[in-house]
A = this chain, B = another copy of it.
Amino acid sequence: MNKQYAVSMPLLAQELELFEDYLEKSFPADSYIEKTARELITGGGKRLRPALVIASAMTGSYDRDRALPLAAAIETMHAATLVHDDVIDGAETRRDRPALHTLSGNHVAVYTGDYMLARSLRMLAACKLPTEEMTRLAIVIEQICTGDASQYLGRSRIPGYRTYLRRILGKTGMLFAAACSGGGYIGQVEEKHQKKLWHFGLRLGASFQIRDDLLDIENDDRAGKPTGRDLMDGIVTLPLILASANSEFRAELEGFLGGERDEVKLKDLISWARQTGSLQRSRKILEDNLDRCRSIAAELPQSDATAYLLNFVDMLEA
């Protein structure tokens, strides 16, 4: 994806290269844990959150010395939660490599995630954020934890749309929002624009998650995993939540979640869900969110940086 950035967003692509250097420099490779964390964090990823920090900072007066540490802190927090998620999910691969815990056991994975959280605190210190900004970021991490836990504890049950929304905002939306508004803060944009950046990020993060849900059902290998994996794990995604408005479908889905799950039943359920039109409705919700992102971006001072933010919106078109 970084190559794609180079063409469409040259200024951003250039900063993202410096970001990679900064990140590498921030992770020593002395002890085993340090080496592990370094490999995990420098081993790739779409760098969406750092790109949002940088592009948002560019909407104001860009300050590299504070933007890169914030971008790195947020990416490191995100990577730390992925490491811990893998412990929890028992996922066997992550970013096409074997997940850490399958290589080294839960022990190392938990310590490595904690170490990364501590590292991100060190980077945050370098950003010299005021109390309110620090507090906001802390709340975002809390929301990621409570959001993930809520999804885990509520697995194999069909959540309502509002619960679903709260979860995806906690899981993804709020960190996107913190990336955008934090970037805006560092770029010293007006407070009202920082708020707009927050809402832009929130909607973008929700869109990102909804798109993920669509990809899981659309039998599309863009997500790099077979159809319906979430449901096999007891996670009920948006299209299935919407399809559950139909009480017969709901009963069938509850039966699937409560009983033995097999591939045949899964296939049947998904094709039934498709027939209810819930995919189109999900796509409509995604579109509405993306449109909302566009109109928020239109209210920001217009520059290359706002065009970059709009690029991210376009990338999430289903």
Measured CB to CB, the residues of A under 8 A from B are 31-34, 80-81, 84, 87-88, 106-108, 110-115, 117-119, 121-122, 124-126, 128, 131, 134-135, 137-139, 141-142, 144-146, 148-150, 152-153
Contacts and interface: CB of A to CB of B under 8 A. Distances in A.
**For the complex, would chain A's binding face be called helix, strand, loop or mixed by DSSP majority?**
helix
A307 to B, nearest CB: 34
Contacts of A126: 131, 135
B110 A146 contact: no
Given A31-B146, A128-B131, A131-B128, A114 B117 contact: yes
Copies of this protein, total: 2
A80 B138 CA distance: 15
A84 B145 CA distance: 14
Contact of A141 (B114, B134, B137): B114
A111 B32 contact: no
Contact of A149 (B31, B119, B131, B153): B31
Contacts of A144: 114
A89 to B, nearest CB: 9
Contacts of A32: 149-150, 153
Contacts of A80: 114
Contact of A84 (B110, B125, B135): B110
B122 A135 contact: yes
